[in-house]
Structure 1
Amino acid sequence: MAYDVGTYVLCRVKSLFLTGKLGQRIKLPGNIICGDIHGQFYDMKELFKVGGDCPKTNYLFLGDFVDRGFYSVETFLLLLALKVRYPDRITLIRGNHESRQITQVYGFYDECLRKYGSVNVWRYCTDIFDYLSLSALIENKIFSVHGGLSPAISTLDQIRTIDRKQEVPHDGAMCDLLWSDPEDIVDGWGLSPRGAGFLFGGSVVTSFNHTNNIDYICRAHQLVMEGYKWMFNNQIVTVWSAPNYCYRCGNVAAILELDENLNKQFRVFDAAPQESRGAPAKKPAPDYFL
């Protein structure tokens, strides 16, 4: 995307945030929930082929739009352009990679510098990161978040009081929502090997869902080879939407489709054919625990 077009989109979408037009509550019908994309632009195009074009379909993306893949700029700017064109039909929430610190290490910063000859686009994008919602609530029944829960949060109202207009902190409630993971072998809360957030067990999920009168939690943040994974008696589901993650993991991807009655269907898809993409001669960022 040309520099002037990209900066125009970034300025327009920021004005939407500033005028308060980006809410956290989502109403059906026709909603599809998507997990991590990680700069895999051509695979995101496959996602839209499977789920349907916006605005015919409402989309909720659970964060981690950038880093790892070769096309983080194109991925994020396309989603923002769709947000500008159809503000009520696409919702973007923040992932742990929507962070200045993380993107300077895992690809997005370098990609912006390489493609535009300066880091101005990176700065504009990271400014937008600070305005992304931390969670979304679908029909008051499905709590959607990038990572998971926090020992500092027991109600949805507490999430709404967080000042999200900041860099992702290293600890605290905001950090936990973007970094935490469910874990079968944990009873209650445990330390996370990621170095941020927590591991949390089934009892934590049961208590949170009961307290907030929600059916289940939908989150992303973890690679799932089958595209999606239920845990704790269907009280929480992980959705992963980057097929063949980092162009080498061999996994399929999934999106979660909901109808007007909250009936759900997972749509599984493969990576885009190699001939439809043009991968630069550059290796993805190194492995890590994020």
Structure 2
Amino acid sequence: MSDPDGAADPPTPTPPSPSPVPPPAPVEWPEDGALTRDWVAAFTATLDWCSRRLPPDQLPSVLSADFVRRLLLAAAGVLHREPNIVRVDPRPDQAVVVVGDVHGQLHDVMFLLRDAGFPSEERIFVFNGDYVDRGAWGLETLLLLLAWKIYLPNRVFLLRGNHESKYCTSVYGFEREVMVKYKSQGGQVYRKFLRCFEDLPLASIIAGCVYTAHGGIFRGAVVLPSKRAKRAKKGHKYVASSAEDSTTLKLGSLDELLKARRTVLDPPWEGSNLIPGDVLWSDPSLEKGLSLNKERGIGLLWGPDITQQFLYTNNLKLIIRSHEGPDARDKRHDLLGMDSGYTTDHQVACGKLITLFSAPDYPQFQASEDRYNNSGAYLVLSPPDFATPDFHSFQAVKPRPAANPYYDFEEVIDSDEELNLGAMDTGNLSS
């Protein structure tokens, strides 16, 4: 099958053949704390071996809880220094690879890195969130990408997705995955992941002309007098109410996004937390204007006119967002499907809005016998303008290693279309 733009059929990855090799030695953190390309390559091979041959609850024999904590701490130290909007400024001889949702599909991520060409002095990567949940190897997937971030902090950029939260990971499997793999130490390890989530930036600007964020557009803060200001008859503060209706919504500015409080993890998003909630959960629409995203119960819907306004106001040419796979688009008949791993949702005078999804044959665990069999995709932005994406669709690595789900995929809604805070189980954190 060819993609909508007439490109060749996506390649079908060939999984490596299992070989009778002994279990790898436990992974050791470098004494000087400096990762190398050889270390990351060996780490990748170890993760692959473990996913194929080691029962999940035996993973600590190779990746100890102490090792995981050290890696997360090192990564958080790098991420914490980055602003809410990271500026990715490639040189004229560098390309930028943008990756959408990967959802714990470790083997597809490893193929993508090989197919696109690993991060290097010539190639920058921007990952657009949703590293965990639904797939069986969210822990391994995120650790691998964090290792790349530590090794090449100015060549690898990891943005946050809505699944990098306590709410989503409690519902869609990642919390239980960590608990199964690390048992009595699982609560401590999981909390380290949550703290690392807090440090992930919310968006990027690539080459001064491309905006990337997991969900996309966000509202501006609403300025209302505070109670103290009313009493003193002077001063104002920013207040943004989750109850505000569509008539009060206005498009937010990049300056407001830069100042947003990104350490908040969970809905309900209120007050100063509304901007991060929008960035992570919002969806495009073909209807004009800004409106509340009532289908999800969180975030916004925005139309082509808002895309045009955002591009024009910020002197941008392209918006790249993710957040919607084939299951979500199957329920949204107004927009194109995600069979090829990407769509162009808005094309306006100033540029385009693109949705990019990088998890092929998604979700890994599916209630119905009929699978979506979608391709995943990544895109490459090249000089001189960096605003004309080159799409690369690819199929899933098959067969996947046998694995069990970490959530009840027959009961949990695949597309995040309902926000159900009651489904969040906080009991495991006490262990």
Correspondence 1:225 to 2:339? yes
The alpha-carbon deviation at position 46 of structure 1 amounts to 1.4
Pairs within 5 Å for 1:11-160:
11-20=73-82, 24-28=86-90, 29-55=94-120, 56-117=122-183, 118-152=186-220, 153-160=251-258
C-alpha separation in 2, matches of 1:41 and 1:95: 17
Correspondence 1:282 to 2:405? yes
C-alpha separation in 2, matches of 1:68 and 1:87: 27
C-alpha separation in 2, matches of 1:23 and 1:173: 13
The alpha-carbon deviation at position 23 of structure 1 amounts to 6.8
- RMSD of aligned Cα (Å): 1.8
Q: Is the 8 A contact 2:344 2:354 kept in 1?
A: yes
Aligned to 1:270: 395
Amino acid at match of 2:290: W
Aligned to 2:357: 240
Three-state SS of the structure 2 residue aligned to 1:119 is: helix
Distance 1:43 1:188, change over 3 A: same
Aligned to 1:9: 71
Distance 1:17 1:148, change over 3 A: closer
Q: Match for 1:170 among 261, 268, 280?
A: 268
The alpha-carbon deviation at position 115 of structure 1 amounts to 0.4
C-alpha separation in 1, matches of 2:170 and 2:404: 20
C-alpha separation in 2, matches of 1:23 and 1:181: 19
Aligned to 2:283: 181
- Percent of pairs identical after alignment? 32
- Select between 122-131 and 50-59 the one with higher mean Cα deviation: 50-59
The alpha-carbon deviation at position 63 of structure 1 amounts to 0.4
Amino acid at match of 2:146: L
The alpha-carbon deviation at position 282 of structure 1 amounts to 3.2
Scaled by the length of structure 1, the TM-score of the pair is 0.93
Aligned to 2:310: 208
CA deviations over 1:238-265 (Å, ceiling 9, x no partner): 0000000112421001101011221421
Greater C-alpha Rg: 2
Correspondence 1:259 to 2:360? no
Q: Is the 8 A contact 1:25 1:137 kept in 2?
A: yes
Distance 1:159 1:19, change over 3 A: closer
The alpha-carbon deviation at position 22 of structure 1 amounts to 9.1
Scaled by the length of structure 2, the TM-score of the pair is 0.64
Distance 1:156 1:125, change over 3 A: same
CA deviations over 1:46-79 (Å, ceiling 9, x no partner): 1112211122521100001110100000011111
C-alpha separation in 2, matches of 1:20 and 1:227: 29
C-alpha separation in 1, matches of 2:313 and 2:78: 32
C-alpha separation in 1, matches of 2:126 and 2:319: 14
Q: Is the 8 A contact 1:94 1:132 kept in 2?
A: yes
Three-state SS of the structure 1 residue aligned to 2:191 is: helix
The alpha-carbon deviation at position 271 of structure 1 amounts to 0.3
C-alpha separation in 1, matches of 2:190 and 2:406: 20
Three-state SS of the structure 1 residue aligned to 2:136 is: coil
Paired residues in the alignment total 287
Q: Is the 8 A contact 1:22 1:87 kept in 2?
A: no
Three-state SS of the structure 2 residue aligned to 1:136 is: strand
C-alpha separation in 2, matches of 1:131 and 1:58: 20
C-alpha separation in 1, matches of 2:81 and 2:292: 39
The alpha-carbon deviation at position 288 of structure 1 amounts to 3.5
